[in-house]
Amino acid sequence: MSLGAADRIRAALNRLAGDMPILGIAISGGGDSTALLHIAADWARDRTLMAATVDHGLRPDSAVEAKQAGEAATALGIPHVVLRWTRETEAGNLMAEARDARLRLLSGWAQRNNLPAVLLGHTRDDVAETLMMRLARGAGIDGLAEMAEWRDAFGLRWIRPMLGVGRAELREWMQARDIGWIDDPSNQNTDFERVRVRKAMADLGVDTMALAKVAANLSEARDALALYAAEICRDARATRGTLILPRGPIRRAPAEIRRRIVVAACRWITGADYPPRRAAVSHALNGLAGGSRVTLDGAMLEPDGERLHVIREPAAAMRAPSVDGASPVWDNRWRIEGLEAGQEVSAVGLEDLVRLPWRNAGLDRDEAAGTPAIRENGKLVAAPLLQAGSRVTCLPSRDIADFQTMLVRH
């Protein structure tokens, strides 16, 4: 039984990362990622594996634990670093913020080390607990479907090779080999929803295998719906950062399909790592059904005859931080080429727009104000999408194929 668990993980590693000569692994020092560390170290052989631990600094022992996690990695010949997080505000959902910060820190580390992907130690128990938590929140099919074995987010591929294995199996496997791990006291803290859900599931005798099966069944349903949505959008087009969708077929499609299309369109525009909230999507769909222009999480959807135009919400573009030649992707959607030293990219804005021939660009006023502008010492030098002849080019960082992929894969 325990050998079976390691074999299944190795098979998943072959399937998901078999062609990667170098790979990262995120270890907390807890049981799941410690098991993954050992199994991946053995699997890696002539591949290079690098490990990192995020010290959230939320408990007095966290630094010591991060160091211990590192010792486990270096004992296996795997280089390890500790990445420290400092929380900026006290407001908001601590767990969600910590997870986001963790993914960002890990992604930065992976990019600095040219790692194409990072392994995470989620297990079948995580799948079951997530399903229960989302059920309680009234999630839709996507929220309830199983976690993906891989996902691209925060500029990186995340691989979860242990989704088919239970936490208890892993602990058995480690005990049989005398491998120790750190029991995080937060895993007993009932202030956290996941801990309460875990306890409730144990009390009710809920079988994680059955719940994981429900999640897998819903994934199949999701995939079928995704193909339906992709079929409806087969004539979708992308031009200069605007997505143009067929309005009639979308209007006639069932609500679940409309929802999926709107979510993918919004994420295509914003490049966001998470989909917009369900209630916000419902609100946007109601507006669209009434023929109105709506905004959703930084995207703007505008009915135009038989077409639905999806653009960047101008106010969101104006809030996007400016970038220079060192990191030439602006607003998470424009790749800027040809910037000179001292030049920066930010939105054109309404003030500078009046001096530009924006009407020739076939955009409306708000849309034009949200396009990239090149400035030097705060002074407008060029607005490449609105004027011909600029030496700087702005290329959309996503094309129509990316939209089709987003429809099928969330």
Ligand X SMILES: Nc1ncnc2c1ncn2[C@@H]1O[C@H](COP(=O)(O)OP(=O)(O)OP(=O)(O)O)[C@@H](O)[C@H]1O
Would you say 53 or 404 has its CB closer to ligand X? 53
Q: How far is the CB of 11 from ligand X (least distance, A)?
A: 19
b/e map of 214-243 (b: 16 or more CB within 10 Å)?
bbeebbeebeebbebbbebbeebebeebbb
Annotated binding-site residues read: 28-33
Q: How far is the CB of 30 from ligand X (least distance, A)?
A: 2
Q: How far is the CB of 140 from ligand X (least distance, A)?
A: 23
Would you say 82 or 361 has its CB closer to ligand X? 82
Cα separation, 117 vs 17, whole angstroms: 8
Would you say 183 or 220 has its CB closer to ligand X? 183
Would you say 99 or 391 has its CB closer to ligand X? 99
Q: How far is the CB of 8 from ligand X (least distance, A)?
A: 16
Q: How far is the CB of 14 from ligand X (least distance, A)?
A: 19
| Chain residue at closest Cβ approach to ligand X | 30
Give the footprint of ligand X on this chain (CB under 6 A).
26-28, 30-33, 53-54, 102, 120-122, 126, 184
b/e map of 381-408 (b: 16 or more CB within 10 Å)?
bbbbbbeeebebebebbbebebbbebbe
Q: How far is the CB of 39 from ligand X (least distance, A)?
A: 12
Annotated binding-site residues for ATP read: 28-33
Would you say 33 or 371 has its CB closer to ligand X? 33
In 3D space, the residue among 236, 272, 239 whose CA is nearest the CA of residue 395 turns out to be: 239
Q: How far is the CB of 197 from ligand X (least distance, A)?
A: 12
Would you say 31 or 303 has its CB closer to ligand X? 31
Per residue, the 3-state secondary structure of the chain, as one string, reads: CHHHHHHHHHHHHHHHHCCCCEEEEECCCCHHHHHHHHHHHHHHCCCEEEEEEEECCCCCCHHHHHHHHHHHHHHCCCCEEEEECCCCCCCCCHHHHHHHHHHHHHHHHHHHCCCCEEECCCCHHHHHHHHHHHHCCCCCHHHHCCCCCEEEECCEEEECCCCCCCHHHHHHHHHHCCCCCCCCHHHHCCCCHHHHHHHHHHHHCCCHHHHHHHHHHHHHHHHHHHHHHHHHCCCCEEECCEEEEEHHHHHHCCHHHHHHHHHHHHHHHHCCCCCCCHHHHHHHHHHHHCCCCEEECCEEEEEECCEEEEEECHHHHHHCCCEECCCCEECCCEEEECCCCCEEEEECHHHHHCCCCHHHHCCCHHHHHCCEEEEECCEEEECCCCCCCCCCEEEECCCHHHHHHHHHCC
Would you say 26 or 233 has its CB closer to ligand X? 26
Q: How far is the CB of 263 from ligand X (least distance, A)?
A: 25
Would you say 127 or 320 has its CB closer to ligand X? 127
Would you say 118 or 261 has its CB closer to ligand X? 118
Q: How far is the CB of 47 from ligand X (least distance, A)?
A: 18
